[in-house]
Every structure is written in structure tokens, then in C-alpha cells.
Structure 1
Amino acid sequence: MLGLSDKFLSNRKLESLVENQTSYTLNNAALHVFETHRQAERVLLKFDQPVLASMVEGKKIMHLRDYESFDFLPGESLVLPSNETMCIDFPEAMRKKPTRCLALAISEDKINKVLQLMNESMPKHDRSEWGLMDYNFHFVNDMGIFQILQRLLFLFTENHPSKDFFVDNMLRELIIRILQTNERKIYSNSTLQLSSNSRLATVIRYIREHLHEPLNVEDLSSKACLSPSHFYRVFKTELGISPIEFINNERIKLAVGLLQDKKRSIKNVYLECGFESRSYFNRVFKARQHLSPSDYQAKAQSEPL
């Protein structure tokens, strides 16, 4: 799984139990490792450059300006603009089970150079130009992004005279992959933009809190006080995907994090995510992650670098 090596953990200084920060700075980027060892609420964090935050262990609840709060789990990343304030809760952090997260701050100059390269070498099918990535883009890491993040974690902490060069090459690939992922929209982030008192926001919260239970359009529509057909149309219009697609996306998002725990069996994972059969779980997972759950688990559980 994406993780911190024993060498890192033994060498870093633990000076705070809430968002203890270990940082490594290079020419075009800085890598920050944050660790929280006790429960906390409303912790504020901000960077002066665009940042990719990626969860390693534990759970955060993110509160972003003008967006619905959401759980931030292992296997997920979030792209934020410079000077965007994050307000973070740590509902489960403890000394023996800390919450850990990477924050990779990337210079806008580096991002712009990659965008120029993409527009010159790999134009979009619709001939529109690549632009700065959608910010507040919350997504599940695919295996390519997962492996780049693991490699960057190694490179930043390595004592090598050419590591700036190595990191620059990895940053270029990471930015390209994120932009292409953003273009595909692994799962809709429109839910972050729903007002907290909208009918759909209430249903979204219910889905995320009951993923392990049976969920169907009829029951969800009644919670929104709409007929099933009207609910389906409103949901798809607002979020761009059907209710079942959204439910499956959220279940796969949860599964990605659970599969990084080597103690969990595939059966345990798909049942906890609300899938009734392994065959259906395999089919939905592979369609979204391009790997079977067992192959994903084997790759994600490789030893940290």
C-alpha cells in the first residue's frame, strides 16, 4: 500500500500530536507528510501553491469553502488551488492508529510548462486546450497515480545528487495523469457543490453512511420526497450519472481503501462495501480501476519504498 517506510518513521521528529509536519523541498515542489495521533476538529491548513493531497492512513472529514463536507480516505487524492483553506476533522485518530496524509505542493510554473507540452504534443480530441486542472477535484487514485506517489515519496526522502531531476520527470507524468483523470471524471465531484440543505445532499449523505446496506432507487426517492422516476431524472441532471452509478462509484471508492489493508479478504471487502456477490463486485471494480480486486490488492500491498 502507499505508505511510509520504517526508515522515515524512525528518522522524523514527532513534535505535535495534531498535523505533525515533516517537509522536503526541491526546486519545483515540496512534499509534506502530516501525521495526527489524537482526535481533533476544525484544524486549518493552507498552502501558497497548488497542492495534491493524498491519504495514506486513517480518515479525515474535509470541509472546503462552499462545498459539502466529505470523508477523505486512503486511496483517494484531492487537488486544491493555492491559498485554499482546508478545515479538517480527525474523528478516529489515536496514538496507535494515526491519520497520515501526503501534501505535494507544485509550483504553478511547473504546471504551466506541462500544460504547454500537452497542448503541443497531445491535443484533446475536441481540439480544446488543456488548462489548469479543476480545483477541489476529489478522486480515487488509479494504479498509475498510486505508483507515482509511492515513487515520489521515495525520491524526496532519498539522498541523491540528481533527485531534483528525477522528481521533475515524475511530476510531469503525475500532472499529465491527473489532468487526464480529471477529464474522465472517475466519479462525479458535482456532489461537492450541492448546498447542504438540498434534497439530493441529504440523499448523498444517506448513501455514503449506508454503503454497506442494500440501496435502491425506490427507497432513496422516498427520502427525497420524489417519485422514483422524478428522482432518477433530477439525480442524473444534477450529478451527470444515475443513482446506481453513483452508489457503485462510492462503493468502489471505499473498496480501494479497504483493499490496502492486507488483513482484509476480498469477501470481507465486498460485503462491507454493500455488494451481494463477488462476481458483480469484480465486474464493477474492474470497469472503474482496470484491474481485478485481487490484482489491485496485490499491487497496493507491495512493501513501501
Structure 2
Amino acid sequence: MQLSNAYFNNRRLETLVENQTTYTLNNAAMHVFETHQQAEQIMLQFDQPVLASMLSGKKIMHLRDHESFNFLPGESLILPSKEIMCIDFPEAKASNPTRCLAMAISEDKIKQMLQVMNETMPKLDGKEWALMDYNFHFTNDIGLYQILQRLLFLFTENHPSKDLFVDNMLSELIVRILQSNERKIYTEKTLEINNSSRLGYIVSFIRENIYQPLSIETLSKKAHMSESHFYRVFKNELGISPVEFINNERIKLAVSLLQDPKRTIKEVFMECGFESRSYFNRVFKRKKNVSPGEYQANVVREKRY
């Protein structure tokens, strides 16, 4: 993500460690932190729930009840209000500063969006949408990336209607984060929830039968729903279509199988449930930015060294 020229033209660099530039609107405050020298055990805390997203450089995060982890560009972290962060900056320097966006969102705005989602996007299992798992660390998908880039521009723009613009973007941001969190729950905890959740059962069925043809018709029958209703509920809860979810799972399996240099590309795409090599190649390249053959060759080359 890129900071705007307006940000660099107007910000003041008053300290080399966690220099803070803040923009405050009705339902959110955007803080941009810059660190230009190595530092350790810097403490940070916010009074509202926060989406932190790395822009450049590297942090090591230490959170309550969590193992320490690297926080890198393209990743985000959801934090509750009053959460104390302890942060190290092992690589920060003047020529390569660490920059991080922290978006503090009002709890009233989050509650408002939860109410809208529960009224218009009811969950399959009848449970209500609720606050996401806090300390949820994830990689931004393209939708979140574009929203955050837009917010970086809007907060620094001198426009009389920017409060309205930002408020609309915050609504979409909250929905997408909750859907991302739901995907994480269903993909990481499927075995724990599939007995009590129809959608959990479907996710489990997909993963156990990934090598077979999987259609919306088949999955909707398994869920005892019409095709249109199943498609709508699945996408509302997980933020992606059933076909996108299936392809994501198949590509994860393909990445694992391609670690073996003895496997042919044909064996891999057939074991992953793709019907043709051309479709497999197209989906794989879209997800990984290289072809399956290039990916396998890179793996072999790395293992040699």
C-alpha cells in the first residue's frame, strides 16, 4: 500500500521511533506510525478496537496470551480496545523505515454494522454475527487491500464530504473482516464445528472430497437448501463463492503435492479434482502468480541449495 503525497507533505517527523500522524473523523481515527531506527519493547495501546496493517518494514509483535510473531507488509491484525502491544523493530532504519497503519473504529459503528448484517445476511446456523476473534492475524485479500488503500487516500484528502466517503468504506471494511474471520474459523476448526453447523459440514465435505467433481447442485442438496439460497448464504458468511472456496482448497493441496519433484503436473491436477490442465494452470497462476510447472521447478531449485 502507498501513502499519498498529501501525507508526506503535511506530516511532521518529530521522533525516530513510532512517530505518529493522526487523522480523526466521525467514526474512526487513522494513525500512521513510522520508525526510522532499531528499537525494542515499544508499548502501544488504543481506547477503541483497532485494525493494524503493515505498510513497510518488519515488526515483531508480543501480545498477551500469544506467541511472538513477525508482522509484515500485506498483513493485518485485529486488536480489542485497551490491548497492550509490545513491539520490536529489528530492521528499521532511515533508508528503510517501518510504517504501519492503525485504524481505530468506534464500537458504535461496529455494532451498527453487526445489526445490519444480522438483518440482511442471516447466518445458516441461526447464530448472530458478533465481534470477530480479537488478535486475529491474517493476510489481506485483494478486497481488503483495495479498501485500505482507498482509506489511506480518503483520510488525507481535503474534501468536504470525506466523512461520508470514509463511513461507507468502513462499513465494507467491517463486513469483509468479519467474513475473513468466519473463513478462518470454518477452515481451521471444521472438525470441531461440523456436527453442529450445516456450513461447517459442507466445508468438511468439500475438503474430504476435494478430488471429486463438486457442484453447487451437489453441495446445496447436502445442505438441504435450494441452489440459489445455498450460494447466497455461503457467500454472505465466508465472503467468497463456493467455487472460489473449492478452488482455494484445491490450490492449497496442489502446492503441497508439487513439493514432490516426481509428481507430474497431470497427476497433481487430477488428484486435486481439476477437470482440465488448462483450467488448473489458469487458477494456479491467478493464485500464485506462477504456473504449476514454474512453481515446482522453483521448489526443486531451492531444495538443491
TM-score, normalising length from structure 2?
0.63
Measure how far apart 1:12 and its partner are.
1.1
User: Structure 1 residues 187, 140: CA separation in 2 closer, same or farther (over 3 Å shift)?
Assistant: farther
| Contact 1:14–1:20 (Cα < 8 Å) also in 2 | yes
Residue in 2 aligned with 1:15? 14
TM-score, normalising length from structure 1?
0.63
Matched, 1:60 2:59: yes
Residue in 2 aligned with 1:32? 31
| Contact 2:31–2:103 (Cα < 8 Å) also in 1 | yes
Count of aligned pairs: 212
Measure how far apart 1:187 and its partner are.
10
Taking the aligned partners of 2:42 and 2:122, their CA distance within structure 1 comes to: 41
Residue in 2 aligned with 1:127? 126
Taking the aligned partners of 1:120 and 1:30, their CA distance within structure 2 comes to: 27
| Contact 1:139–1:187 (Cα < 8 Å) also in 2 | no
Residue in 2 aligned with 1:177? 176
Matches within 5 A, 1:1-305: 2-185=1-184, 291-293=287-289
Measure how far apart 1:124 and its partner are.
1.1
Q: Deviations over 1:130-153 (max 9, x none)?
A: 001110000000000000000000
Identity of aligned residues (%): 67
| Contact 1:58–1:92 (Cα < 8 Å) also in 2 | yes
Counterpart residue identity of residue 117, structure 1: V
Larger radius of gyration: 2
User: Structure 1 residues 117, 16: CA separation in 2 closer, same or farther (over 3 Å shift)?
Assistant: same
User: Structure 1 residues 166, 42: CA separation in 2 closer, same or farther (over 3 Å shift)?
Assistant: same
| Contact 2:4–2:156 (Cα < 8 Å) also in 1 | no
User: Structure 1 residues 285, 292: CA separation in 2 closer, same or farther (over 3 Å shift)?
Assistant: farther
Taking the aligned partners of 2:75 and 2:2, their CA distance within structure 1 comes to: 13
Taking the aligned partners of 2:122 and 2:186, their CA distance within structure 1 comes to: 23
Q: Which moved more, 1:17-26 or 1:177-186?
A: 177-186
Counterpart residue identity of residue 85, structure 1: I
| Contact 1:286–1:293 (Cα < 8 Å) also in 2 | no
| Contact 2:22–2:32 (Cα < 8 Å) also in 1 | yes
User: Structure 1 residues 106, 290: CA separation in 2 closer, same or farther (over 3 Å shift)?
Assistant: farther
Q: Deviations over 1:62-82 (max 9, x none)?
A: 000011000000110000000
Measure how far apart 1:3 and its partner are.
1.6
User: Structure 1 residues 41, 284: CA separation in 2 closer, same or farther (over 3 Å shift)?
Assistant: farther
| Contact 1:139–1:186 (Cα < 8 Å) also in 2 | no
| Contact 2:6–2:156 (Cα < 8 Å) also in 1 | no
User: Structure 1 residues 285, 92: CA separation in 2 closer, same or farther (over 3 Å shift)?
Assistant: farther
| Contact 2:75–2:137 (Cα < 8 Å) also in 1 | yes
Taking the aligned partners of 2:51 and 2:260, their CA distance within structure 1 comes to: 31
Counterpart residue identity of residue 170, structure 2: L
Measure how far apart 1:188 and its partner are.
7.7
| Contact 1:35–1:99 (Cα < 8 Å) also in 2 | yes
Q: What's the RMSD between the two structures over aligned residues? A: 3.1
Structure 2 gaps, min length 5: 190-248, 269-279, 291-305
User: Structure 1 residues 172, 161: CA separation in 2 closer, same or farther (over 3 Å shift)?
Assistant: same
Measure how far apart 1:290 and its partner are.
6.7
Measure how far apart 1:178 and its partner are.
0.3
Taking the aligned partners of 1:36 and 1:123, their CA distance within structure 2 comes to: 43
SS in 2 for 1:185: helix
Measure how far apart 1:161 and its partner are.
0.7
